[in-house]
Amino acid sequence: MMKKVLKFGGTSVGTIERIQHVAKIIKRDYDAGNKIIVVVSAMAGQTNDLIQLSKSIANDFSKRELDVLLSTGEQITCALLAGALKKININAQSWLNWQIPILTEGDHTNSRIVNMNVSKINNFINEGVAVVPGFQGISKNGEITTIGRGGSDASAVAFAKLFNADSCEIYTDVDGVFSSDPNKIPVAKKIDRISYDEMLELSSLGAKVIQSSAVQTAMMYNIPLQVRSTFTDRKGTTIFDHENIDYSKSVTGVAYSKNDAKITLIGVEDKPGIAANIFEPLNKAQINVDMVIQNISSDQKTTDITFTIKRDDLKMTKDILNNNQKIKYKNITHNDKVAKVSIVGAGMVSTPGVTYKMFKALADDKINILAISTSEIKLSVIIDEENTLNAVKKLHTIFELD
Ligand code: ASP
Ligand code: MG
């Protein structure tokens, strides 16, 4: 007998038929004698629809009221799924954020789960299935909160941690984690086992299958995650501690994202403290700078500095740079038609030549590299957006992932 947290994403509970199907999956586990807590997302598209509704009132709709509004999405699926379980003769009960309660800290729409009262649910799962809402909680002042888009994964991990569950299974609409985006790269393969570090890199570099903050928490508390499909019986991907993984391949996956923009300051004074003066106000405004390149100045007096940021922060970044009295430069240019393509693999640490192999492959295809960043287990490049899929395909092939 195990204590399990099962999480079902939006597409898994997107229609009544699917909710009934999910009830059958839960029944299988429950009949096998397990204690089950089910975490649900809202029906697919529902959260977006609710956001649209709020925008039809006001573009700057109150965040407090937005949390009240958005939390209803998961309230609906909780009740429907508990009802569907009862219909197939399983004792089940839904609980809302304030009934448990799921305690959060932080701002509206951007809170995080810090604690829960586990007693009522722990009692209940001895006799039935508990169905709880993902993506939300309640602050210590009793305000309804949400924890950021895609937050149900983080909710599932928080439940697994606070209830001391034996496993946390993330049911979704794909078979698991793939070596690249299976919708765009048909030769991409499902990965059976992957380490937390690699998954963390892949998900923050563009792989959408699981939220990176959920992986981070799982890693911190060593909670193994299972990502698997609601719609097939195939074995999914296990995300866990890396000690037990075979790193015969240097690269585990190729990710890409189109969320970045590149800014270049041309003709910046080349003297100590200049970089600090550029980045200090960006830091204050919580703008995350990813890659930075400074080239050697030819005249010893000025230099060019290029850096990348989230595309959504482009306007704010340019405004801050334009108003920064502490720096002088000749010109500022930006490019938001760029993509970040990354190779990730814990095996990279012990394989020489991975960097060369990546750069050579891109050069052979005449793909220009605009910026580079590396860590022990990843190598990312910024390239022109139009070359994205070519680059991903090429890297997937040369690193023997096809
Ligand atoms: N329903 C929320 C969203 O769409 C949370 C989730 O699905 O994980 O962002
Ligand atoms: Mg979701």
Q: Is residue 24 a contact partner of residue 88, using CB atoms and an 8 Å limit? A: yes
- In the structure, what pLDDT confidence band is assigned to residue 244 with cuts at 50, 70 and 90? low
The span from the CA of 134 to the CA of 74, in Å, is 7
Q: Using one digit for the tens of pLDDT, what is the confidence trace for 91-142?
A: 999 999 999 999 999 999 999 999 999 999 999 999 999 999 999 999 999 9
Q: What was the pLDDT predicted at 256?
A: 96
**Could you give the 3-state DSSP secondary structure of residue 333?**
strand
Q: What was the pLDDT predicted at 260?
A: 95
Asked if pLDDT for residue 246 goes beyond 80, the answer is no
- Percentage of the chain with pLDDT > 70? 99
> In testing the pocket of ligand 1, which one of 66, 149, 159 has its CB within 8 Å of the most ligand atoms?
149
Pick the residue whose CA is nearest to atom 8 on ligand 1.
Answer: 150
Domain boundaries in the chain?
A: 3-173, 254-398
- Summary count for the chain: helices (H), strands (E): 11, 20
Q: What was the pLDDT predicted at 249?
A: 84
Tell me the mean pLDDT in the region 223-248.
88
Q: What was the pLDDT predicted at 270?
A: 87
**Alpha carbon of 169 to ligand 1 centroid (Å):** 17
Record the pTM. Answer: 0.89
The architecture in CATH of the region 254-398 reads 2-Layer Sandwich (3.30)
**Could you give the 3-state DSSP secondary structure of residue 374?**
strand
Q: Using one digit for the tens of pLDDT, what is the confidence trace for 356-369?
A: 999 999 999 999 99
Asked if pLDDT for residue 345 goes beyond 80, the answer is yes
CATH superfamily of 3-173: Acetylglutamate kinase-like (3.40.1160.10)
Tell me the mean pLDDT in the region 318-344.
95
- Residue scoring higher pLDDT (209 or 299): 209
- Between strands 237-240 and 225-229, the pairing is antiparallel
| Close Cβ partners of 36 (under 8 Å, ≥ 6 residues apart) | 4, 6, 26, 29, 30, 125, 129, 130
- In the structure, what pLDDT confidence band is assigned to residue 351 with cuts at 50, 70 and 90? confident
**Alpha carbon of 111 to ligand 1 centroid (Å):** 14
Asked if pLDDT for residue 159 goes beyond 80, the answer is yes
Asked if pLDDT for residue 247 goes beyond 90, the answer is no
One-letter amino acid at 253 equals: G
Q: What was the pLDDT predicted at 245?
A: 67
**Alpha carbon of 41 to ligand 2 centroid (Å):** 6
Mean pLDDT (the chain) is 95
From the alpha carbon of 48, which atom of ligand 1 is closest? 4
The tokens describing 56, both together, are 């039809």
Q: Using one digit for the tens of pLDDT, what is the confidence trace for 55-68?
A: 999 999 999 999 99
**Alpha carbon of 146 to ligand 1 centroid (Å):** 10
**Which ligand is nearest to the Cα of residue 150, counting in written order?**
1
The span from the CA of 84 to the CA of 93, in Å, is 11
Q: CB under 6 Å to ligand 1: residues? A: 10, 41-42, 47, 73, 134-135, 149-152
Q: What was the pLDDT predicted at 362?
A: 97
- Between strands 338-344 and 253-257, the pairing is antiparallel
Q: Is residue 345 a contact partner of residue 377, using CB atoms and an 8 Å limit? A: yes
- Four-residue CA torsion sign, 174, 180, 185, 190: negative
Q: What was the pLDDT predicted at 295?
A: 81
**Alpha carbon of 76 to ligand 1 centroid (Å):** 13
Q: What was the pLDDT predicted at 203?
A: 92
